[in-house]
Structure formats: structure tokens, C-alpha cells
Amino acid sequence: MGALVYLHGFASGPAGSKASHCRAWAESRRLPFHAPDLNLPTFEELTLTAQVRAVERLLREFKDPPVVVGSSLGGLVGAAAAHRGCAIRQLILLAPAFGFAQRRMHSPEWTVYRECGEMEVFHHALGRTQCLGPALLGDLPHWADDGTWRLRVPTVVIHGKRDESVPLSESEAFAVRNPQAKLVIVDDDHALLSPATLAKLDSLLEGVWSQAPSPTGGPGLHRPRRPSPG
């Protein structure tokens, strides 16, 4: 059975709350865990293209298709990798940032960024504001078609009904376009850190690994003795 990969969101990092939760879940089961830093090439020079290409390179390294959990912008990046043909066993999207490019290209909240080509953003992983430069703005048009993506991998979306960062309607529209995907609406905000939501995530992960063959050939949780390097 493959590894668990966690993709963090915008202005975040690989050691955030949900990343740490997924790491603890995987390590308690001796499963390989990977959470790449997606501030690429740096946060100031951030582009979606750099993020997606880095994730594609990572996913190609695995012998078995991994389970990918993507949060917010990380969810969009994971969906992009799946859309572009990466082998993924299960995709779990947490408040995925569908419409990210369109909102930043057109919404009033990002007018200053569009006019000035840079803006100060609070970076949660660093605990301070960082300058976001013009590279992302120039890259956004390449990712403005996410409203047409249709994924061929098993996908579950968890989205909070109180999310004020990514509209629930984005995930609802994705589920309409991808009828094989399952949309789970929870009573939570964008962070999706309530105990009930994390329990739902754990249940989904347990369900995926319970389908893996046991050493005797029957169903059961795969527990390798050592995680793979990285």
C-alpha cells in the first residue's frame, strides 16, 4: 500500500495543524508520510505551476499510488495533479480552493494585488507577514480552467458550511461535474479543525487502508515495519 501525502494550503507550511494531524495518524500506523513545502520557488515568487510540478515529481517517485490529502490551495494542487494524469489511490480534498485563479483575477479583495503586483500576506507557517510578488499574478491565467476539470481518481471532498474563505458552492459545483466524487458537508469553518471533522478525516483514511491486502492476502490495515525515507 502506498504512502500518505499531505499538501498544505496558501500561506501555510508542512507543519501546520492538519499536516501534524495526518502525520501523527500515519506514523502511529507506521505508514510512509510526506508533506512537501509548497512555498515554491519561494512564497514571494509563488506560482501554482511550480507547486503542481513539484507534486507531480513527488508522486512519480512512489511505486504504489499514494493517498493524497490536500487542504485549500493544496487541494487544488492535488486535483490538478490528478487532472493531469498522476496515479493517486485516493484523493481527499479539504475545502479545496477551486476558483482560486478566478477569484484573484477578478474579486475586489485582490484589486490592490492586481494593480500593484504585490501585497503583504500573513504567512501562518512563519508567523509574520510576507510579500507576495507578481509571479503568481502572471501564472494565474494558466489555472483559470479548474471549473472544467473532471477527475478519474476516487475523490472525497470535505467542506465546511461556515467556510468564509472558499465558497461551499465551488465544491458543490465540482461534485456536479464529477458525479463519482463524494461531497461531505460539515458544520465547520475553513480550517476544518473541529474534533468531528478530524474524526471524519480519520474515518476516511481508515477506510482506504482497510481495503489494502493484509500479509495473509485478506483485507486489513497494511502496517509496514518502517516508513520509506523522506
CA distance 187 to 54: 33
Report residue 212's pLDDT band, with 50, 70 and 90 as the boundaries: low
> Is the pLDDT assigned to residue 228 strictly greater than 90?
no
**pLDDT tens per residue across span 147-174:** 999 999 999 999 999 999 999 999 999 9
C-alpha 49/C-alpha 55 separation (Å) is 10
Q: What percent of the chain has pLDDT above 70? A: 91
* DSSP class per residue in 13-54: -TTSHHHHHHHHHHHHTT--EE------S-STT--HHHHHHH
CA-CA distances (angstroms) from residue 7 to 14, 143, 211?
7, 17, 23
- Quote the mean pLDDT of the chain: 92
Distance CA 165, CA 12 (A): 14
For the domain made up of 4-210, give the CATH fold: Rossmann fold (3.40.50)
Q: What is the structure's pLDDT at 226?
A: 32
pLDDT (0 to 100) of residue 213? 52
pLDDT at 25 over 80: yes
Question: What confidence score (pLDDT) does residue 140 get?
Answer: 97
Q: What pLDDT, on a 0 to 100 scale, did the predictor assign at position 229?
A: 31
The predicted structure's pLDDT at residue 143 = 98
